[in-house]
A and B are shown apart, each in its own frame.
Chain A
Amino acid sequence: MLPPVLVLASVAIGLVPAATGLAAARWPYRSPAAAIVLWQAMGLGWGLAAIGTLAALGADRGSADRGGSGVAGDALAVLARAVHDLVGTAPPPGLLAALRLLCLAASAALLALLSWVLVAASGAVLRDRRRHRALLSLLAHGDPKVPGALVVDHPAAAAYCVPGLRSRIVISAGAIDLLDQAELAAVLAHERAHARERHDLVLLPFTALRRAFPWSVPAQRAHAAVALLIEMLADDHALRHRPARELVTALIRVGAASPAGTPAGALAVAGRELTESGVCTRVERLLAPQQGLSLPALALVSGAAAALVIVPAALLLLPL
């Protein structure tokens, strides 16, 4: 059998080109939900494999006192022994042992970083939303034209969902002027799907990843791809209640009327290019609908997703 460190390293390294490939692929548009599951598994699998690779390099797997308790257990054993030696009067560690400890430290640091950014990103998002809700409760009002939604009196066209335990759907006065009754209903159906299925939670880990590695193109691509897929998921929900044409004209009108984005910097520009083509891709998909993935293809995607999480987790935790 291959040594765990090789398996973990090839998963961690191989997932980077795989993410680029998945971001460019067209099949996810046929079954957005399956593709989102795969993206989640790739994210989780990459984290586990990257942490595990460093831990396996640090854990002295060849030595006689191998714990036989998986990479994580062995790494902890090595750490415990190092601490014991440090407290006692053992001679200073050799170069190889020092390098091992360095790998273990890097592994622990990566685990701490990934956990921290997830917590920090969630906190930032929750704070932003709380402020937004407070402002809405002071400023927004209901309108019989858009039942169940809040209206903000601003001429720019905007329609969005503020997710939460009690999600809010908000439409600007500009959007109400811009869209006819049928288009408004399509927009509401789309936003209700976001609110009901909490698509924001699906996107959150990718937002966190982008914050942790702002210079990383794969992290940017993964975020943009998942953001587009949840829009497609909501489009599909809207289609169950409204004809495609209403949704398409609403998309084009709101997209063309939205003011241009301002965030500066090369990555922000790259992000904007992706979101710009996003509306086009969605329209294209709505006008020429394709069949969802076949059952065997769905099974393949689910199997790959499961393997990406189970294999690194098993190498970390089980005595293999």
Chain B
Amino acid sequence: MNRLGELERAIMDVLWESETQLTVRQVGSRLTDRDLAHTTVMTVLDRLAKKGFARRERDGRAWLYRAAASREAYVTELMLHALDQTGDRSAALASFARRVSDTEARVLRRALETGGDPARS
């Protein structure tokens, strides 16, 4: 992953972990191990806001940032899309195996045990 992608990820982690909205300086101070310039943090937060992953509102002269949705909500979105359950059925992804019913799964397992053709078992 490139440096920018990695920074976006680290900053989203900060926003997800925070209970409250954060200023650019507060976000920077929670990434102490990285020693980032203030403008770098500001640029990345701006990008995240433009992509819709962060929300911001003005508080006096500073911007306050928070995550647009929780990490869990985004993970759920990924999985719904992956399992083709969003309803748009755009075939953007190629899923390994679709749902089989319990009956089908039983038939298939029996076929596997006998090593034969499930149609004949």
Contact = CB atoms under 8 A, between A and B. Distances in A.
Interface of A: 121, 124-125, 128-129, 132, 134-139, 152-154, 156, 158-163, 170, 172, 187, 190-191, 194, 199-200, 203-204, 207, 227, 230-231, 234, 245, 248-252, 254-256, 258-264, 268, 271-272, 275-276, 278-280, 283-284, 287-288
Contacts of A280: 100, 104, 107-108, 118
Contact of B78 (A136, A248, A263, A276): A136
A34 to B, nearest CB: 20
A44 to B, nearest CB: 19
Interface in B21-79: 51, 53, 71, 74-79
Given A125-B91, A284-B119, A259 B53 contact: no
Top 5 closest A-B pairs, CB basis?
Answer: A255-B100, A256-B105, A128-B92, A159-B96, A254-B97
Given A128-B81, A199-B94, A249-B112, 5 more contacts: A132-B81, A160-B96, A280-B108, A288-B116, A288-B117
B102 interface: yes
B29 to A, nearest CB: 21
Contacts of A207: 90-91
Contacts of A132: 78, 81, 92-93
A268 B89 contact: yes
B81 A261 contact: no
A287 B118 contact: yes
Contacts of A191: 94, 96
A161 B94 contact: yes
B99 interface: yes
B104 A279 contact: yes
Given A159-B95, A258-B97, A139 B71 contact: yes
A139 B74 CA distance: 8
Given A138-B74, A271-B89, A251 B83 contact: no
B89 A263 contact: yes
B94 A230 contact: yes
Contacts of A255: 97-100, 104-105, 108
A234 B96 CA distance: 9
B9 to A, nearest CB: 5
Nearest to A200: B94
Contacts of B53: 134, 138
A158 B93 CA distance: 11
A207 B12 CA distance: 34
B98 to A, nearest CB: 4
Given A139-B74, A160-B95, A207-B91, A287 B100 contact: no
Contacts of A190: 96
B14 interface: no
